[in-house]
Structure 1
Amino acid sequence: MGTVFFSEQSSVAAEIEGKVVEIPVNHGSHVNKGDVLVQLSTDIIDRKIATPGR
């Protein structure tokens, strides 16, 4: 066993609010640009679209 250190760190934020319904990657997995990291429920945004002006 060893220790892995990384040279880069990123902060991640969503442009919309939502409940996390799936995380399709495993901790420590290699990811590529464009990979889906988190799937959010669309319930909140669907309600906002259905009732504009709120």
Structure 2
Amino acid sequence: MSQITFTEDEKATLVTKIKTYFENELSQDIGQFDAEFLLEFFSKEIGVYHYNK
């Protein structure tokens, strides 16, 4: 399966959304690196399954 890739603008937007979600829903403050790591994980491991639906 090929990995989903994002433009720099898309990546910045998604990282911000991840950080906001963690703050608002989980009361957790995660940093930029952690949010980027999660985005990479989800796009690599889960994104292709979602994309194929």
Is the shorter-chain TM-score for this pair beyond 0.5, marking a shared fold? no
Which of 1 and 2 has greater Rg? 1
Determine which structure has the larger strand proportion and give its number: 1
If the length of structure 1 is used for normalisation, what is the TM-score?
0.28
Report the structure, 1 or 2, having the larger helix content. Answer: 2
